[in-house]
Amino acid sequence: MKVNGWKRTGHTAPHLRRNLSESHWPGKPWGRIGWLLAGCWALLLSGCGGEPWNNPYPREEAAANVLYSSFSERPKHLDPARSYSANEYAFLAQIYEPPLQYHFLLRPYQLVPLTAQAVPVPQYFDAAGQPLSPDAPPEQIAYSEYRIQIQPGIRYQPHPAFAKDASGAYRYHELTEGDLRKIRVLSDFPELGTRVLTAEDYVYQIKRLAVPWLHSPIAGVLREHLVGFAALSERIARAAPEARADGSRPFFDLRTLDFPGARVLDEQTYVIRIRGKYPQFLYWLAMPFFAPIPWEAERFYQQPGMKQRNLQLDWYPVGTGPFWLTENNPNLRMVLSRNPYFHGETYPQEGMPEDQAAGLLADAGKPLPFLDRAVYSLEKESIPYWNKFLQGWYDSSGIASDAFDQAIRFNAQGEAGLSESMRAKGMGLLTAVQTSIFYLGFNMRDPVVGGNSRRSRLLRRAISIALDYEEYISIFLNGRGIPAQGPIPPGIFGYRDGKAGINPYVYRWKDGRPQRRSLAEARALLAEAGYPEGRDPATGAALNLYYEAVASGPDDKARLNWMRKQFKKLGIQLVVRTTDYNRFQEKIRRGTGQLFTWGWNADYPDPENFLFLLYGPNSKVDGGGENAANYDNPQFNALFERMKNLDNGPERQKLLDEMVEIVRRDAPWVWGFYPKAFSLHHAWLHNLKPNLMANNTLKYRRIDPQLRAAQRRAWNQPILWPLGLIAAAFLLLSLPAVFAYRRRERQIGLQQP
Amino acid sequence: MSAYLLRRFLYAFPILLGVNCLTFALFFLVNSPDDMARMQLGQKRVTPEAIEQWKRERGYDKPLFYNGEASGWGRFTETIFFEKSLRLFLFDFGSSDAGRDIGYDIAQRMWPSLAIAVPVLLVGLLVNLSFALFLVLFRGTYIDLGGVVLLVALLSISSLFYIIGGQYLLGKLLRLAPISGYDTGLHAWKFLVLPVIVGVLSGIGSGTRLYRTFFLEEAAKDYVRTARAKGLSERLVLFRHILGNALIPILTGVVVVLPLLFLGSLLTESFFGIPGLGSYTLDAINNQDFAIVRAMVFLGSVLYILGLVLTDLSYVLVDPRVRLH
């Protein structure tokens, strides 16, 4: 039976049959429109009350104990010998376990054992190898030894490198091309194994730091400090087999090489020997560089055919930490899952007095980690990330400049708080002054702004006063920073707060707070320096200074204009020389720039890590070091050499005060600002406390999956009526065209007169 | 036709060599091997020895084009250009400067690019053709005029605006699809909805105007007048005669872009977090990874040449008057 040309089947429901016959589908346009509208209405109804349509995760994960975060660029290295950047540590620090870690809650930052049984106390020896007392003068100390005993029974994550067959032989250590034919990712290996962590694994990794082709970023530091490191590096270069044609290296067993810098004493004990006294070495022991690597992993990954499949230790970590990398697709998603063999650790039981009130001790003593998984999705742009965070698809977020006003409000006292819309969503705000500094450097080799003459010093001081960093922070950082008073940021030993901590050459203490000295004072200093009203006495014209800048986008123009304006206040003409970052670095390396802006982020919480940026032998031009201003003051250098070997205490504080006074007086930098980090998190995320030193904080995070699922459902119901409206508008607008077409089709081609 | 194809194949070599030379010169005009080493080794605590070692291991310690210290052919072969570029002709892309296998990454990342590009092309073609036919049907009327004004407005808007606007409207306000992201296999569909809609919308202005021009050109021809004079309905004239003949330039225009679909879109992939070859290229440029940049430029050139050859072939297939010699 046919209804207007359409064959009706016996399966058609009765009510549809009635509708079909009543509307004469599809003969009349009203019938079609009616059906379309009904379809739209059904669509509208289907969207109400169900699961969100914009959920980027699988539906079955809605109430899972999973943390969601992102990464904006794929990690370059996941080998702890090579990795040295924050985005890589976000993964590595959860997987690898060095012997020490930073306490999650206590401040100032404090080292505590991670896999070690205790924080090692260095033992000192003189040049004849005789032990010295702990308070021996640094100049007598020829060697320091750190004896580290690891906890027993720690096991590695599941990994094919450990898998063994029935005879006890390694299952995947002699792979052929045929075996690898079906292997594309690590999870394609069906059998996994584990083994107990040994001291040998730590020593193995320390030896790896000397492998020339691994290019460990701290090889230079260790060459200076670790006994026999340079010789070990040369021996490896001589003894290791040549690279294959594809660039991969055959396995070279580093266990066969003796190394006086790191020795195994027994299954659970090893000792590290360094030259002289270097108290900061303990901090290095909390970084992934000193995490253990099992020799089996290198043996496994360095087989032929692995590199072509990107199966390398640099991409697939093997650790003992609370999580292991179960999905490693840097083009899309990285997934950390709870390590089934994790040795166990509990949430800290002590914290700062304010931590109790903040709920940070609610989980004290509970076993870690709390999460089952952490999913990191590739998110390259900040706008989609922010919007997804607001929808609840990410658990925490930083605040981009363009979203700052939406999220943050400052009260009358200038304190930051959440905006009404963020509070309504139950969000939390965390702020922390970072252990970083951004500064304007003077090239001390430059004949005009550099040198140690009174003239150049006064010129630098005048500029230091004129550069209004309070204004800079307000305009360009949304108030996220505090003006720096010296090279040591808050949170680092040696930093002084309040009146005692101000830079007297730039600030006065007035009304209980530092106040920048006046422009009149800056101009007077400038005149005293021989540049009255900013004029160069040699030419009579305005003094020209040259500022090396990296300009990468339209936003930089405003910054550079601001900088010009600051110098203009003194009558100085600032010539901005913009370039790309490569050329900029080259100019600084060669010492051809005059003024420049740069920054430093702390590796560890010790003033040595900031003051070495002004230590003469570290000069960028002469030594290729990090002293970009090429500042070289013998008095400062001598104090630095004494200070770096001292433990924190009054004596060290006194030296630090002296050193800070010297550099404030000489002003090789305009001290710039210490940035302040702001981050938001949803109400379902717990145990957040800014820890600028520790990277392994994922294990402390706890979420409330039920609350998250409920909030996400409430915030993400699809709104469908605009679609119905658009469809209706489209149909209505089409009608005149349909009628016009029909009229034209029916009209007579030629009208007879 | 075989002789023609062989000739085109041989022509491709000097073109690809030229493209390689140009890429090489432009890249090293901006970046030196030292810069590349610093980018890969990181900014902190990098020693000059480590930089030299990195360059030596990857062959970046050699001269760029001409090695005066070598003898004979070695003057040309023992250079960065020769060593890095020759094997591209065998489609051996080697490893990136960061150490990953480029061929593996390309094979992985071309699928997400295709997953976006193919629906955008097909749906876009359908929408643009329909809209163009609609306007031609009402040519000379206010509907046509209004349509053209709308098209000019649409093509005047930046593609970035479409992306951000689409994410804001459909993803954030109406919550109809994920704002960004991607997944593998069948789970990818919900992430494709928004970029495909945005891709189609952003192409309507230019695509429809072009097709409308093709149709109008055909509509003015004698055979169309004859068809009308014979009393054929406007629908038959439009769909059977005008569309059929106008499809020749349309199809050849489509064929030329087919191979390039593999390369993806820089902006779309970046904003939607799609791990395709467009974002792969963009990342490589940002990371100064010359190995990837040259591989992708080479691949782009090969695909472009392939597209042109396919276009020529498609002319033969759709237009019997054309012969290739």
Q: Is A702 left (phi over 0), alpha (psi -120 to 50) or beta?
A: beta
Q: Does A418 touch chain B (CB under 8 A)?
A: no
pLDDT tens-digit readout, A489-509: 999 999 999 999 999 999 999
Residues in A touching B137 (Cβ below 8 Å): 741
- Asked if residues A464 and A671 have their Cβ atoms less than 8 Å apart, the reply is yes
- The one-letter amino acid code at A656 reads L
Residues in B touching A234 (Cβ below 8 Å): none
Q: Which of B173, B176, B186, B197 to mutate to test the interface with A (most CBs of A within 10 A)?
A: B176
Give the number of residues written for chain B: 325
Q: What are the phi and psi torsion angles at A272 (to 5°)?
A: -115, 130
Which A positions 342-401 lie with beta carbon below 8 A of chain B?
A: 377-381, 383-385, 387-388, 390-391, 393
pLDDT tens-digit readout, A357-386: 999 999 999 999 999 999 999 998 888 999
Q: What are the phi and psi torsion angles at A452 (to 5°)?
A: -110, 15
Quote the CA–CA distance of A27 and A2 in Å, as a whole number: 13
Quote the CA–CA distance of A221 and A280 in Å, as a whole number: 12
pLDDT of residue A42: 53
- Asked if residues B60 and B36 have their Cβ atoms less than 8 Å apart, the reply is yes
Most confident residue range from A550-554, A720-724, B246-250? A720-724
Mean pLDDT of A340-345: 95
- Asked if residues A255 and A204 have their Cβ atoms less than 8 Å apart, the reply is yes
Vertex A473 angle, CA A467 and A476, to 5°: 105
* Contact: B233, A580; criterion CB under 8 Å: no
pLDDT of residue B82: 83
Quote the CA–CA distance of A461 and A481 in Å, as a whole number: 22
CA distances for A394 relative to A55, A368, B276, angstroms:
11, 22, 23
pLDDT of A451 strictly over 60: yes
Q: How many CB pairs under 8 A join A and B?
A: 166
- Asked if residues A210 and A229 have their Cβ atoms less than 8 Å apart, the reply is yes
CA distances for A531 relative to A262, A524, A667, B218, B283, angstroms:
58, 9, 18, 77, 48
Helices (H), A80-142: 86-95
- Asked if residues A261 and A227 have their Cβ atoms less than 8 Å apart, the reply is yes
Q: Which of A607, A601, A596, A602 is nearest to A630 (CA)?
A: A596
Quote the CA–CA distance of B147 and A479 in Å, as a whole number: 49
CA distances for B252 relative to A47, A512, B97, angstroms:
42, 77, 38
Quote the CA–CA distance of B308 and B252 in Å, as a whole number: 9
Q: Decide which of 3.30.479.10, 3.90.280.10, 3.40.50.300, 3.90.76.10 is the CATH code for A115-319.
A: 3.90.76.10
pLDDT of A22 strictly over 60: no
What's the DSSP call for residue A680?
E
Quote the CA–CA distance of B178 and A189 in Å, as a whole number: 33
- Asked if residues A271 and A279 have their Cβ atoms less than 8 Å apart, the reply is no
* Contact: A308, B174; criterion CB under 8 Å: no
The ipTM is 0.84
* Contact: B35, A582; criterion CB under 8 Å: yes
pLDDT of A23 strictly over 60: no
Q: Which of B291, B38, B98 is nearest to A217 (CA)?
A: B38
- Asked if residues A391 and A54 have their Cβ atoms less than 8 Å apart, the reply is yes
pLDDT of A15 strictly over 70: no
- A616 CA to chain B: closest CA distance, Å? 16
pLDDT of residue B256: 80
CA distances for B244 relative to A288, A447, B232, B238, angstroms:
66, 77, 15, 9
pLDDT of residue A43: 53
pLDDT of residue B318: 76
Q: Which of B180, B194, B274 to mutate to test the interface with A (most CBs of A within 10 A)?
A: B180
pLDDT in tens, chain B (325 residues): 788 888 888 888 888 888 888 888 888 877 788 888 888 787 677 777 888 888 888 888 888 888 888 888 888 888 888 887 777 887 888 888 777 888 888 988 899 999 999 999 999 999 999 999 999 988 888 889 999 999 999 999 998 999 999 999 999 999 999 999 998 888 889 999 999 999 999 999 999 999 999 999 998 899 999 998 888 888 888 888 898 888 888 888 888 888 778 777 888 888 898 889 988 888 888 888 888 988 999 998 999 888 888 888 888 877 777 777 7
Residues in B touching A218 (Cβ below 8 Å): 45
In sequence order, what are the residues at sequence separation of 6 or more whose Cβ sits closer than 8 angstroms to the Cβ of residue A730?
A: none
Place of tokens 């379809």: A39
Q: Which residues pair with A670 in a beta bridge?
A: A440
Q: Which of A412-421, A449-458, A641-650 is least confident?
A: A412-421
Quote the CA–CA distance of B80 and A18 in Å, as a whole number: 78
Q: Is there a shared CATH topology between the A115-319 domain and the A436-677 domain?
A: no
Which A positions 555-584 lie with beta carbon below 8 A of chain B?
A: 580, 582
Number of other CB atoms surrounding residue A8 within 10 Å: 14
Quote the CA–CA distance of A400 and A383 in Å, as a whole number: 8
Place of tokens 């872009």: B257
* Contact: A52, B175; criterion CB under 8 Å: yes
Q: Which of A340-354, A415-429, A543-557, A737-751 is least confident?
A: A737-751
Quote the CA–CA distance of B102 and B295 in Å, as a whole number: 8
- A514 CA to chain B: closest CA distance, Å? 33
pLDDT of residue A586: 85
Which secondary structure element, helix H or strand E, spans residue A413, and what is its range?
none
Burial class (CB in 10 A: 0-12, 13-18, 19+), A517: buried
- The one-letter amino acid code at A551 reads A
**Rg, C-alpha atoms of chain A:** 33
| CA end-to-end distance (rounded Å), chain A | 49
- Asked if residues B177 and B193 have their Cβ atoms less than 8 Å apart, the reply is yes
Q: How large a percentage of chain A has pLDDT more than 90?
A: 74
Most confident residue range from A408-422, A443-457, B67-81? A443-457
Quote the CA–CA distance of A464 and A459 in Å, as a whole number: 9
The structural domains of chain B, ordered by start, are 2-90 (no CATH), 102-318 (1.10.3720.10)
Mean pLDDT of A101-108: 94
- The one-letter amino acid code at B318 reads V
Q: How confident is the model at residue A39 (pLDDT cuts 50, 70, 90)?
A: low
Q: Which of B144, B143, B320, B315 is nearest to B216 (CA)?
A: B144
Residues in A touching B292 (Cβ below 8 Å): none
Q: Which residues pair with B101 in a beta bridge?
A: B95
Quote the CA–CA distance of A635 and A640 in Å, as a whole number: 9
Burial class (CB in 10 A: 0-12, 13-18, 19+), A132: middle
pLDDT of A44 strictly over 80: no
Q: Which of A272-286, A308-322, B88-102 is least confident?
A: B88-102
Quote the CA–CA distance of B211 and A79 in Å, as a whole number: 54
- The one-letter amino acid code at A195 reads R
Record: fold of A436-677: Dipeptide-binding Protein; domain 3 (3.10.105)
Number of other CB atoms surrounding residue A112 within 10 Å: 15
More confident residue, A304 or A737: A304
Q: List the domain boundaries for chain A.
A: 2-47+719-751, 115-319, 436-677
Among partner residues A331, A624, A737, which is closest to B138 by beta-carbon distance? A737
More confident residue, A50 or A320: A320
pLDDT of A20 strictly over 50: no
Calculate the average pLDDT of chain A.
89
Among partner residues A215, A379, A716, which is closest to B53 by beta-carbon distance? A215
pLDDT of residue B51: 85
Q: Can you read off the two tokens belonging to residue A659?
A: 């050193």
* Contact: B275, A315; criterion CB under 8 Å: no
- Asked if residues A546 and A593 have their Cβ atoms less than 8 Å apart, the reply is yes
Number of other CB atoms surrounding residue B129 within 10 Å: 20
pLDDT tens-digit readout, A612-624: 999 999 999 987 7
Quote the CA–CA distance of A454 and A531 in Å, as a whole number: 13
